[in-house]
Amino acid sequence: MTLPLRDLWCAVRDGDPDSEGRPGCSPRPGTESATPIVPIFGETPADVVLVARVRGGDREAFESIVSAYAQDVVQLAAIMLHDRDDAEDVAQELFVRVWHGRESWVLRGSLRAYLLRAAANQVRNVRNLRANRRRLVAAEGEQLVPTGGRNDAEASLDAMLWQAVRELPERWRDAVLLRYVQRLSFAEVAEVLGVTEDAAKKVVRRAIEGLRRVLADRVERED
């Protein structure tokens, strides 16, 4: 089982230690064994310089921003859309818009925060288009998660968990994926969703409770 799914399974079983004060069973973001989390709040001097250069038409500065943050944008969009191709389209459109609107670009917070917020907004637009065209498709969650090294039992459990995640209300689904697959802190989840940190914790907690109910119902039906 991959580490992101281990985080989610542990939260379903034990709760999130950061929000519920429980010990948990997997490393949390920012610990030595977890994937390092880069803070997204507060512009740095380097951010300010880069944005100023881009506003002046410096393509090299713009390309350095794309190189540094494109992967973060694609990963976030893929998690929220369950579709890698759509996620790459979101990233491409986002950076095109940044370049064409560069002269009026005002940076509030860090570059990463700005780009993740913008990506989340574009994801919502894509969802609206899908709904309007009646072409919502439940893509397989496993396409976002490496399958190497897992046995059949673990793969079956992962598939069951991803299906349960897809059955959550959209906002709950976004929050839980941002927290346990994208592995953002609660402050970062709040920033992307446009809510307070306390509200982000509540949404994640409700999503975990929802997953427990869905999984319990499924196990009961199978028994």
Task: Tell whether 51 and 119 lie within a shared domain.
Answer: yes
For residue 191, the model assigns a pLDDT of 81
For residue 20, the model assigns a pLDDT of 56
Task: Tell whether 29 and 57 lie within a shared domain.
Answer: no
Nearest to 97 by CA among 129, 132, 124, 62: 62
pLDDT digits (tens, 9 = 90+) for 201-210: 999 999 999 9
For residue 138, the model assigns a pLDDT of 44
Domain at 93, CATH number? 1.10.1740.10
Task: Tell whether 70 and 121 lie within a shared domain.
Answer: yes
Low-confidence stretches of the chain (pLDDT < 50) are 1-3, 21-23, 26-41, 134-144, 146-147
Look-up: residue for tokens 């609206």?
A: 128
Q: Are 207 and 176 in contact (CB under 8 A)?
A: yes
pTM confidence score = 0.62
Q: And the tokens for 8? A: 């989610």
Residue where one domain finishes, among candidates 139, 172, 196 = 139
Domain at 195, CATH number? 1.10.10.10
Q: And the tokens for 58? A: 């410096």
Residue where one domain finishes, among candidates 139, 161, 176 = 139
Angle made by CA atoms 36, 37, 43, in degrees to the nearest 5: 135
Q: And the tokens for 77? A: 């969009």
Burial label for 159, CB within 10 Å (0-12, 13-18, 19+), is middle
For residue 4, the model assigns a pLDDT of 57
Instruction: Give the 3-state secondary structure of residue 105.
Output: coil
pLDDT digits (tens, 9 = 90+) for 128-182: 766 555 443 444 444 445 445 555 666 777 788 888 888 888 888 888 888 887 7
Task: Tell whether 126 and 159 lie within a shared domain.
Answer: no
Task: Tell whether 73 and 115 lie within a shared domain.
Answer: yes
Q: What value does the mean pLDDT of the chain take?
A: 77
Residue where one domain finishes, among candidates 75, 109, 139 = 139
The total number of structural domains in the chain stands at: 2
The count of other CB atoms within 10 Å of the CB of residue 49 is: 11
Residue 181 structural domain = 1-36+144-223
For residue 124, the model assigns a pLDDT of 83
For residue 203, the model assigns a pLDDT of 93
